[in-house]
Structure 1
Amino acid sequence: METVEETVDVAVPVRTAYNQWTQFESFPEFMSGVESVTQLTDTTNHWVTKIGGVEREFDTEIIDQQPDQRIAWRSLDGKSHAGLVSFTSLDADTTRVHVRFEWAPETFTEKAGAVLNLDNMQVKADMRKFKDFVESRGSETGGWRGEVNDAGATGEL
């Protein structure tokens, strides 16, 4: 498994940053390689990605969601990827967003990208795009404030 982490401070209140992150269908606007995300239910999403010419489709489930604090997810196939994003209010108008992805590179291109540290660079760039996206709007495109607690999930990756 590859692990990639990145932190970015965004100049919006924690509620705005959190609410925007819950709008999974907007991810293609700031995440390179994400072609589409379709929200199937409150806790499941269908992803289509294309990275290094390799297209993948998979479903994820949210396993832990605490409004304005954290969202954790994992792929339903048990191997593709998992993630955790946390939100920390630094002051009334600034939020620290920390994301951690774990994923299993499968193709030669994906494995080479991991070795060359391209994954870290991509996540860093995508988090900057999230910052620009949410700051330029000044408000979220929507938000889901429900809680998810999976008894089998620790909330840690």
Structure 2
Amino acid sequence: MATENNKPSAYLTNMDQVKQVFNRFDVNGRGKITATELVDVMKALGSDTSLDVVKRIMEDIDTDSDGFINLEEFAGFLKGNAGDEDDGGIKELQDAFKLYDLNKNGLISASELHQILSRLGESCTVDDCTNMIKSVDSDGDGYVNFEEFRKMMSNNPSK
């Protein structure tokens, strides 16, 4: 099959497209792709990649080391950010995000934000931090995920 403009079909730039592909991989709908789900999809695509190989692949994609691939990690993988020399500062943003994500669950809570800001000498309450999170929490889950963090850092919203 031919690809349009000689671009591979997996090269997705629209986040809605990325979400659609992600949701197909995320068979159980939990917002995370497991190694088993990835093996199943790869088999459906005609690959006989073993679970051990897939686990090694996942280690490279799983930037928060939680054993799963979340939407942000999946989008980064599709964009080819791993190993790109000019990744638009994604690596630096991921490193910054990891500093705030104290429990390494891929989300920044009001409590984590409060702890970090306090360590940096900022005087604010947990309620202040909750309000800060609400201002960038586009999915309404009460946390800041990497994509929300990235948007906040690049857009500098004043809403």
Pairwise same-fold verdict (TM > 0.5): no
Using structure 2 for the length normalisation, give the TM-score: 0.28
Greater strand fraction, Structure 1 or Structure 2: 1
Highest relative contact order (Cα 8 Å, sep 6+), 1 or 2? 1
